[in-house]
A and B are shown apart, each in its own frame.
Chain A
Protein backbone atom coordinates (compact mmCIF):
# COMPACT_ATOMS: atom_id res chain seq x y z
CA UNK A 1 0.00 0.00 0.00
CA UNK A 2 1.38 3.43 -0.88
CA UNK A 3 2.81 5.22 2.09
CA UNK A 4 0.34 8.07 1.59
CA UNK A 5 -2.50 5.84 2.71
CA UNK A 6 -0.52 4.52 5.60
CA UNK A 7 0.34 8.00 6.78
CA UNK A 8 -3.18 9.37 6.42
CA UNK A 9 -4.54 9.85 9.95
CA UNK A 10 -7.48 7.64 10.82
CA UNK A 11 -9.60 10.73 11.57
CA UNK A 12 -9.19 11.75 7.93
CA UNK A 13 -10.42 8.31 6.81
CA UNK A 14 -13.45 8.64 9.04
CA UNK A 15 -14.20 12.14 7.73
CA UNK A 16 -13.94 11.04 4.09
CA UNK A 17 -16.13 8.01 4.75
CA UNK A 18 -18.79 10.05 6.53
CA UNK A 19 -18.79 12.73 3.85
CA UNK A 20 -19.43 10.08 1.19
CA UNK A 21 -22.30 8.61 3.20
CA UNK A 22 -23.89 11.97 3.95
CA UNK A 23 -23.38 13.18 0.38
CA UNK A 24 -25.31 10.11 -0.76
CA UNK A 25 -28.05 10.89 1.73
CA UNK A 26 -28.41 14.58 0.92
CA UNK A 27 -27.46 16.71 -2.08
CA UNK A 28 -27.27 19.78 0.16
CA UNK A 29 -24.37 18.30 2.03
CA UNK A 30 -21.17 19.31 0.24
CA UNK A 31 -21.94 22.99 -0.30
CA UNK A 32 -19.63 25.83 0.69
CA UNK A 33 -22.29 27.21 3.01
CA UNK A 34 -22.56 23.94 4.87
CA UNK A 35 -18.83 23.43 5.18
CA UNK A 36 -18.42 26.91 6.63
CA UNK A 37 -21.32 26.09 8.88
CA UNK A 38 -19.50 23.03 10.22
CA UNK A 39 -16.42 25.12 10.98
CA UNK A 40 -18.41 27.86 12.69
CA UNK A 41 -20.48 25.46 14.77
CA UNK A 42 -17.43 23.63 16.07
CA UNK A 43 -15.05 26.48 16.77
CA UNK A 44 -15.98 26.51 20.43
CA UNK A 45 -15.52 22.76 20.70
CA UNK A 46 -12.04 23.22 19.25
CA UNK A 47 -11.10 25.56 22.11
CA UNK A 48 -12.28 23.00 24.65
CA UNK A 49 -10.60 20.14 22.78
CA UNK A 50 -7.28 22.01 22.73
CA UNK A 51 -7.39 22.02 26.52
CA UNK A 52 -8.34 18.33 26.60
CA UNK A 53 -5.35 17.59 24.35
CA UNK A 54 -2.91 19.35 26.67
CA UNK A 55 -4.26 17.40 29.62
CA UNK A 56 -4.11 14.08 27.73
CA UNK A 57 -0.55 14.84 26.65
CA UNK A 58 0.43 15.19 30.30
CA UNK A 59 -1.14 11.77 30.87
CA UNK A 60 -4.16 13.13 32.69
CA UNK A 61 -7.83 13.63 31.96
CA UNK A 62 -10.24 16.42 32.78
CA UNK A 63 -13.85 15.30 33.05
CA UNK A 64 -14.82 18.64 34.60
CA UNK A 65 -14.30 20.63 31.38
CA UNK A 66 -18.01 20.72 30.50
CA UNK A 67 -18.98 21.81 34.00
CA UNK A 68 -16.27 24.50 34.06
CA UNK A 69 -17.49 25.73 30.66
CA UNK A 70 -20.99 26.07 32.08
CA UNK A 71 -19.91 27.65 35.34
CA UNK A 72 -17.69 30.31 33.76
CA UNK A 73 -20.46 31.27 31.33
CA UNK A 74 -22.80 31.67 34.28
CA UNK A 75 -20.43 33.75 36.44
CA UNK A 76 -19.59 35.90 33.41
CA UNK A 77 -23.28 36.52 32.66
CA UNK A 78 -24.15 37.27 36.27
CA UNK A 79 -21.37 39.80 36.74
CA UNK A 80 -22.15 41.43 33.39
CA UNK A 81 -25.87 41.74 34.10
CA UNK A 82 -25.20 42.96 37.62
CA UNK A 83 -22.88 45.72 36.41
CA UNK A 84 -25.19 46.74 33.58
CA UNK A 85 -28.17 47.04 35.91
CA UNK A 86 -26.10 49.27 38.18
CA UNK A 87 -25.33 51.56 35.28
CA UNK A 88 -22.00 50.46 33.79
CA UNK A 89 -21.50 50.81 30.06
CA UNK A 90 -21.84 47.68 27.92
CA UNK A 91 -18.11 47.67 27.22
CA UNK A 92 -16.99 47.88 30.82
CA UNK A 93 -19.53 45.32 31.94
CA UNK A 94 -18.35 42.99 29.20
CA UNK A 95 -14.70 43.28 30.20
CA UNK A 96 -15.49 42.68 33.86
CA UNK A 97 -17.75 39.76 33.03
CA UNK A 98 -15.22 38.09 30.76
CA UNK A 99 -12.43 38.55 33.29
CA UNK A 100 -14.55 37.01 36.04
CA UNK A 101 -15.52 34.14 33.71
CA UNK A 102 -11.89 33.41 32.86
CA UNK A 103 -10.87 33.65 36.52
CA UNK A 104 -13.61 31.16 37.39
CA UNK A 105 -12.10 28.73 34.90
CA UNK A 106 -8.58 29.34 36.18
CA UNK A 107 -9.72 28.81 39.77
CA UNK A 108 -11.56 25.56 38.99
CA UNK A 109 -8.51 24.39 37.04
CA UNK A 110 -6.24 25.37 39.93
CA UNK A 111 -8.30 23.28 42.35
CA UNK A 112 -8.52 20.26 40.05
CA UNK A 113 -4.84 20.59 39.23
CA UNK A 114 -3.93 20.97 42.89
CA UNK A 115 -5.80 17.79 43.78
CA UNK A 116 -4.02 15.92 41.00
CA UNK A 117 -0.52 17.43 41.11
CA UNK A 118 -0.17 17.99 44.85
CA UNK A 119 -2.83 15.70 46.34
CA UNK A 120 -1.81 12.92 43.92
CA UNK A 121 -5.44 11.99 43.18
CA UNK A 122 -6.08 9.99 40.03
CA UNK A 123 -7.11 12.62 37.45
CA UNK A 124 -10.43 11.04 36.52
CA UNK A 125 -11.71 10.97 40.09
CA UNK A 126 -10.52 14.48 40.99
CA UNK A 127 -12.06 15.95 37.86
CA UNK A 128 -15.24 13.91 38.26
CA UNK A 129 -15.64 15.31 41.77
CA UNK A 130 -15.05 18.82 40.43
CA UNK A 131 -17.60 18.12 37.71
CA UNK A 132 -20.16 17.54 40.47
CA UNK A 133 -19.07 20.70 42.30
CA UNK A 134 -19.05 22.87 39.16
CA UNK A 135 -22.34 21.50 37.84
CA UNK A 136 -24.00 22.14 41.16
CA UNK A 137 -22.66 25.69 41.48
CA UNK A 138 -23.85 26.49 37.94
CA UNK A 139 -27.38 25.39 38.82
CA UNK A 140 -27.31 27.38 42.03
CA UNK A 141 -25.92 30.59 40.48
CA UNK A 142 -28.24 30.45 37.46
CA UNK A 143 -31.24 29.32 39.49
CA UNK A 144 -31.53 26.17 37.32
CA UNK A 145 -32.48 28.18 34.25
CA UNK A 146 -30.70 30.35 31.69
CA UNK A 147 -29.42 33.88 32.34
CA UNK A 148 -30.14 36.06 29.32
CA UNK A 149 -27.57 38.68 28.44
CA UNK A 150 -28.58 41.74 26.47
CA UNK A 151 -25.22 43.32 25.69
CA UNK A 152 -24.47 44.07 22.03
CA UNK A 153 -20.72 44.45 22.65
CA UNK A 154 -20.59 41.00 24.25
CA UNK A 155 -22.82 39.39 21.62
CA UNK A 156 -20.50 40.66 18.88
CA UNK A 157 -17.94 38.08 20.02
CA UNK A 158 -20.37 35.26 19.36
CA UNK A 159 -21.70 36.35 15.98
CA UNK A 160 -20.92 36.09 12.31
CA UNK A 161 -19.53 39.35 10.99
CA UNK A 162 -22.43 40.07 8.59
CA UNK A 163 -24.37 41.32 11.63
CA UNK A 164 -21.90 44.16 12.20
CA UNK A 165 -19.98 44.68 8.93
CA UNK A 166 -22.09 45.09 5.84
CA UNK A 167 -19.82 43.69 3.15
CA UNK A 168 -20.24 40.64 0.95
CA UNK A 169 -19.11 37.23 2.22
CA UNK A 170 -19.11 38.44 5.83
CA UNK A 171 -21.54 35.67 6.80
CA UNK A 172 -18.67 33.25 6.27
CA UNK A 173 -16.57 34.85 9.00
CA UNK A 174 -17.49 34.53 12.64
CA UNK A 175 -15.91 35.76 15.84
CA UNK A 176 -15.91 32.35 17.60
CA UNK A 177 -13.88 31.01 14.69
CA UNK A 178 -11.37 33.87 15.05
CA UNK A 179 -11.17 33.31 18.78
CA UNK A 180 -10.64 29.58 18.26
CA UNK A 181 -7.94 30.22 15.65
CA UNK A 182 -6.18 32.66 17.97
CA UNK A 183 -6.37 30.26 20.91
CA UNK A 184 -5.11 27.44 18.72
CA UNK A 185 -2.17 29.55 17.58
CA UNK A 186 -1.23 30.56 21.12
CA UNK A 187 -1.45 26.99 22.39
CA UNK A 188 0.59 25.83 19.39
CA UNK A 189 3.36 28.27 20.23
CA UNK A 190 3.25 27.37 23.92
CA UNK A 191 3.28 23.64 23.21
CA UNK A 192 5.97 23.54 20.55
CA UNK A 193 8.10 26.61 21.18
CA UNK A 194 8.35 27.00 24.93
CA UNK A 195 9.98 25.00 27.69
CA UNK A 196 6.59 24.55 29.36
CA UNK A 197 5.25 22.81 26.26
CA UNK A 198 8.14 20.40 26.12
CA UNK A 199 7.75 19.67 29.81
CA UNK A 200 4.10 18.72 29.27
CA UNK A 201 5.05 16.19 26.63
CA UNK A 202 7.98 14.89 28.64
CA UNK A 203 5.84 14.39 31.74
CA UNK A 204 3.29 12.47 29.68
CA UNK A 205 5.97 10.42 28.00
CA UNK A 206 7.93 9.49 31.07
CA UNK A 207 7.09 11.19 34.34
CA UNK A 208 9.90 9.54 36.29
CA UNK A 209 12.42 10.48 33.63
CA UNK A 210 11.19 14.06 33.56
CA UNK A 211 11.52 14.28 37.34
CA UNK A 212 15.02 12.85 37.32
CA UNK A 213 16.12 15.33 34.68
CA UNK A 214 15.09 18.17 36.95
CA UNK A 215 11.61 19.08 35.73
CA UNK A 216 9.44 20.47 38.49
CA UNK A 217 6.75 17.89 37.72
CA UNK A 218 4.02 18.90 40.12
CA UNK A 219 4.20 22.56 39.15
CA UNK A 220 3.99 21.80 35.43
CA UNK A 221 1.13 19.37 35.94
CA UNK A 222 -0.73 21.92 37.99
CA UNK A 223 -0.18 24.52 35.27
CA UNK A 224 -1.62 22.15 32.66
CA UNK A 225 -4.92 22.00 34.55
CA UNK A 226 -4.99 25.75 35.13
CA UNK A 227 -4.47 26.25 31.39
CA UNK A 228 -7.21 23.71 30.62
CA UNK A 229 -9.50 25.52 33.05
CA UNK A 230 -8.88 28.84 31.31
CA UNK A 231 -9.51 27.24 27.90
CA UNK A 232 -12.78 25.76 29.19
CA UNK A 233 -13.70 29.23 30.42
CA UNK A 234 -12.90 30.81 27.04
CA UNK A 235 -15.23 28.24 25.46
CA UNK A 236 -17.93 28.96 28.03
CA UNK A 237 -17.75 32.72 27.66
CA UNK A 238 -17.71 32.53 23.85
CA UNK A 239 -20.66 30.15 23.90
CA UNK A 240 -22.56 32.53 26.17
CA UNK A 241 -21.83 35.34 23.70
CA UNK A 242 -23.08 33.23 20.80
CA UNK A 243 -26.27 32.14 22.56
CA UNK A 244 -26.70 35.56 24.23
CA UNK A 245 -27.40 33.56 27.36
CA UNK A 246 -25.64 31.40 29.93
CA UNK A 247 -27.59 28.22 30.47
CA UNK A 248 -27.12 26.28 33.70
CA UNK A 249 -26.63 22.88 32.01
CA UNK A 250 -25.36 23.91 28.59
CA UNK A 251 -21.97 22.21 28.98
CA UNK A 252 -23.18 18.78 30.07
CA UNK A 253 -21.37 16.19 27.97
CA UNK A 254 -19.08 18.65 26.17
CA UNK A 255 -16.10 17.18 27.97
CA UNK A 256 -16.72 13.87 26.23
CA UNK A 257 -16.77 15.48 22.78
CA UNK A 258 -13.58 17.35 23.64
CA UNK A 259 -11.72 14.28 24.93
CA UNK A 260 -13.01 12.20 22.03
CA UNK A 261 -11.80 14.86 19.56
CA UNK A 262 -8.33 14.77 21.10
CA UNK A 263 -8.16 10.98 20.96
CA UNK A 264 -9.54 10.85 17.42
CA UNK A 265 -6.84 13.34 16.48
CA UNK A 266 -4.20 10.83 17.49
CA UNK A 267 -3.37 11.97 21.00
CA UNK A 268 -3.14 8.73 22.87
CA UNK A 269 -3.66 8.53 26.57
CA UNK A 270 -0.23 7.72 28.03
CA UNK A 271 3.15 8.01 26.35
CA UNK A 272 2.70 11.71 25.53
CA UNK A 273 1.99 10.96 21.89
CA UNK A 274 -0.01 13.21 19.63
CA UNK A 275 -0.52 16.91 19.32
CA UNK A 276 -2.99 19.69 18.77
CA UNK A 277 -2.89 19.64 14.97
CA UNK A 278 -4.62 16.26 15.01
CA UNK A 279 -7.21 17.64 17.39
CA UNK A 280 -8.53 19.89 14.61
CA UNK A 281 -9.24 16.73 12.61
CA UNK A 282 -10.81 15.13 15.66
CA UNK A 283 -13.14 18.09 16.14
CA UNK A 284 -14.03 17.87 12.46
CA UNK A 285 -14.99 14.20 12.83
CA UNK A 286 -17.49 15.17 15.50
CA UNK A 287 -18.64 18.25 13.62
CA UNK A 288 -19.08 16.43 10.32
CA UNK A 289 -21.01 13.64 12.02
CA UNK A 290 -23.38 15.95 13.88
CA UNK A 291 -23.93 18.24 10.91
CA UNK A 292 -24.42 15.27 8.59
CA UNK A 293 -27.11 13.78 10.81
CA UNK A 294 -28.89 17.14 10.76
CA UNK A 295 -28.60 17.71 7.05
CA UNK A 296 -29.64 14.13 6.28
CA UNK A 297 -32.76 14.83 8.31
CA UNK A 298 -32.19 12.25 11.06
CA UNK A 299 -34.74 12.98 13.81
CA UNK A 300 -33.22 14.67 16.85
CA UNK A 301 -34.47 11.77 18.94
CA UNK A 302 -31.95 9.50 17.23
CA UNK A 303 -29.01 11.87 17.47
CA UNK A 304 -27.60 11.21 20.96
CA UNK A 305 -27.54 7.44 20.33
CA UNK A 306 -26.08 7.74 16.84
CA UNK A 307 -23.51 10.39 17.76
CA UNK A 308 -22.30 8.33 20.72
CA UNK A 309 -22.05 5.20 18.60
CA UNK A 310 -20.20 6.98 15.79
CA UNK A 311 -17.72 8.53 18.22
CA UNK A 312 -17.03 5.24 20.03
CA UNK A 313 -16.60 3.37 16.76
CA UNK A 314 -14.29 6.10 15.47
CA UNK A 315 -12.20 5.87 18.65
CA UNK A 316 -11.99 2.08 18.30
CA UNK A 317 -10.97 2.53 14.67
CA UNK A 318 -8.33 5.10 15.63
CA UNK A 319 -6.82 2.83 18.29
CA UNK A 320 -6.80 -0.24 16.05
CA UNK A 321 -5.45 1.77 13.14
CA UNK A 322 -2.66 3.24 15.25
CA UNK A 323 -1.69 -0.23 16.42
CA UNK A 324 -1.68 -1.48 12.84
CA UNK A 325 0.53 1.41 11.76
CA UNK A 326 2.98 0.59 14.53
CA UNK A 327 3.04 -3.00 13.38
CA UNK A 328 3.71 -2.38 9.69
CA UNK A 329 6.35 0.25 10.29
Chain B
Protein backbone atom coordinates (compact mmCIF):
# COMPACT_ATOMS: atom_id res chain seq x y z
CA UNK B 1 0.00 0.00 0.00
CA UNK B 2 2.90 2.30 0.75
CA UNK B 3 4.43 1.58 -2.64
CA UNK B 4 1.15 2.50 -4.28
CA UNK B 5 1.16 5.85 -2.49
CA UNK B 6 -1.90 7.90 -1.70
CA UNK B 7 -2.35 9.63 -5.03
CA UNK B 8 -5.47 7.79 -6.04
CA UNK B 9 -6.99 8.34 -2.62
CA UNK B 10 -6.22 12.05 -2.88
CA UNK B 11 -7.82 12.11 -6.31
CA UNK B 12 -10.93 10.43 -4.90
CA UNK B 13 -11.19 12.97 -2.10
CA UNK B 14 -10.85 15.95 -4.44
CA UNK B 15 -13.76 14.46 -6.39
CA UNK B 16 -15.90 14.58 -3.28
CA UNK B 17 -15.70 11.01 -2.01
CA UNK B 18 -16.01 10.38 1.74
CA UNK B 19 -13.42 8.37 3.66
CA UNK B 20 -15.44 5.16 3.61
CA UNK B 21 -16.31 5.52 -0.09
CA UNK B 22 -12.65 6.12 -0.90
CA UNK B 23 -11.65 2.97 0.97
CA UNK B 24 -14.40 0.82 -0.53
CA UNK B 25 -14.09 2.01 -4.14
CA UNK B 26 -10.41 2.92 -4.50
CA UNK B 27 -8.16 1.46 -1.79
CA UNK B 28 -9.76 -1.96 -1.40
CA UNK B 29 -9.95 -2.81 -5.12
CA UNK B 30 -6.28 -1.88 -5.48
CA UNK B 31 -5.16 -4.15 -2.66
CA UNK B 32 -7.68 -6.97 -3.08
CA UNK B 33 -5.30 -9.43 -4.78
CA UNK B 34 -2.50 -8.75 -2.34
CA UNK B 35 -5.01 -9.15 0.48
CA UNK B 36 -6.30 -12.46 -0.87
CA UNK B 37 -2.75 -13.71 -1.38
CA UNK B 38 -2.00 -12.84 2.24
CA UNK B 39 -5.07 -14.77 3.40
CA UNK B 40 -4.00 -17.85 1.42
CA UNK B 41 -0.44 -17.79 2.77
CA UNK B 42 -1.71 -17.31 6.31
CA UNK B 43 -4.02 -20.26 5.77
CA UNK B 44 -1.07 -22.40 4.66
CA UNK B 45 0.86 -21.43 7.79
CA UNK B 46 -2.12 -22.15 10.03
CA UNK B 47 -2.66 -25.62 8.56
CA UNK B 48 1.00 -26.52 8.92
CA UNK B 49 1.62 -25.12 12.40
CA UNK B 50 2.15 -27.73 15.11
CA UNK B 51 4.78 -26.84 17.71
CA UNK B 52 3.70 -23.34 18.71
CA UNK B 53 0.04 -24.29 19.03
CA UNK B 54 0.94 -27.42 20.97
CA UNK B 55 2.88 -25.38 23.53
CA UNK B 56 0.46 -22.48 23.85
CA UNK B 57 -3.03 -23.91 23.49
CA UNK B 58 -2.98 -26.83 25.88
CA UNK B 59 -4.87 -28.86 23.28
CA UNK B 60 -8.16 -29.34 25.11
CA UNK B 61 -10.28 -31.55 22.94
CA UNK B 62 -13.20 -29.70 21.30
CA UNK B 63 -12.08 -26.35 22.75
CA UNK B 64 -8.52 -25.28 21.94
CA UNK B 65 -7.56 -28.05 19.59
CA UNK B 66 -6.43 -27.69 15.98
CA UNK B 67 -6.46 -30.30 13.26
CA UNK B 68 -2.69 -31.15 13.41
CA UNK B 69 -2.88 -31.51 17.22
CA UNK B 70 -6.04 -33.57 16.96
CA UNK B 71 -4.23 -35.86 14.54
CA UNK B 72 -1.48 -36.45 17.08
CA UNK B 73 -3.99 -37.18 19.86
CA UNK B 74 -5.91 -39.64 17.68
CA UNK B 75 -2.68 -41.40 16.79
CA UNK B 76 -1.69 -41.66 20.44
CA UNK B 77 -5.15 -43.11 21.18
CA UNK B 78 -4.33 -45.90 18.67
CA UNK B 79 -7.20 -44.54 16.49
CA UNK B 80 -5.40 -45.17 13.20
CA UNK B 81 -8.51 -44.76 11.05
CA UNK B 82 -9.33 -41.37 12.58
CA UNK B 83 -5.71 -40.24 12.37
CA UNK B 84 -5.38 -41.14 8.70
CA UNK B 85 -8.72 -39.49 7.94
CA UNK B 86 -7.41 -36.28 9.54
CA UNK B 87 -4.13 -36.57 7.65
CA UNK B 88 -5.99 -36.99 4.37
CA UNK B 89 -8.15 -33.96 5.19
CA UNK B 90 -5.02 -31.89 5.94
CA UNK B 91 -3.41 -32.97 2.71
CA UNK B 92 -6.58 -32.03 0.85
CA UNK B 93 -6.64 -28.54 2.43
CA UNK B 94 -2.97 -28.13 1.53
CA UNK B 95 -3.70 -29.05 -2.07
CA UNK B 96 -6.60 -26.60 -2.20
CA UNK B 97 -4.38 -23.82 -0.83
CA UNK B 98 -1.69 -24.66 -3.37
CA UNK B 99 -4.23 -24.57 -6.20
CA UNK B 100 -5.57 -21.20 -5.03
CA UNK B 101 -2.05 -19.77 -4.79
CA UNK B 102 -1.12 -21.07 -8.25
CA UNK B 103 -4.34 -19.62 -9.65
CA UNK B 104 -3.63 -16.20 -8.15
CA UNK B 105 -0.05 -16.20 -9.43
CA UNK B 106 -1.22 -17.12 -12.90
CA UNK B 107 -3.71 -14.28 -12.79
CA UNK B 108 -1.09 -11.81 -11.60
CA UNK B 109 1.33 -12.85 -14.35
CA UNK B 110 -1.39 -12.45 -16.94
CA UNK B 111 -2.30 -9.01 -15.65
CA UNK B 112 1.32 -7.95 -15.77
CA UNK B 113 1.68 -9.10 -19.36
CA UNK B 114 -1.53 -7.25 -20.12
CA UNK B 115 -0.52 -3.95 -18.57
Q: Do A and B bind each other?
A: no
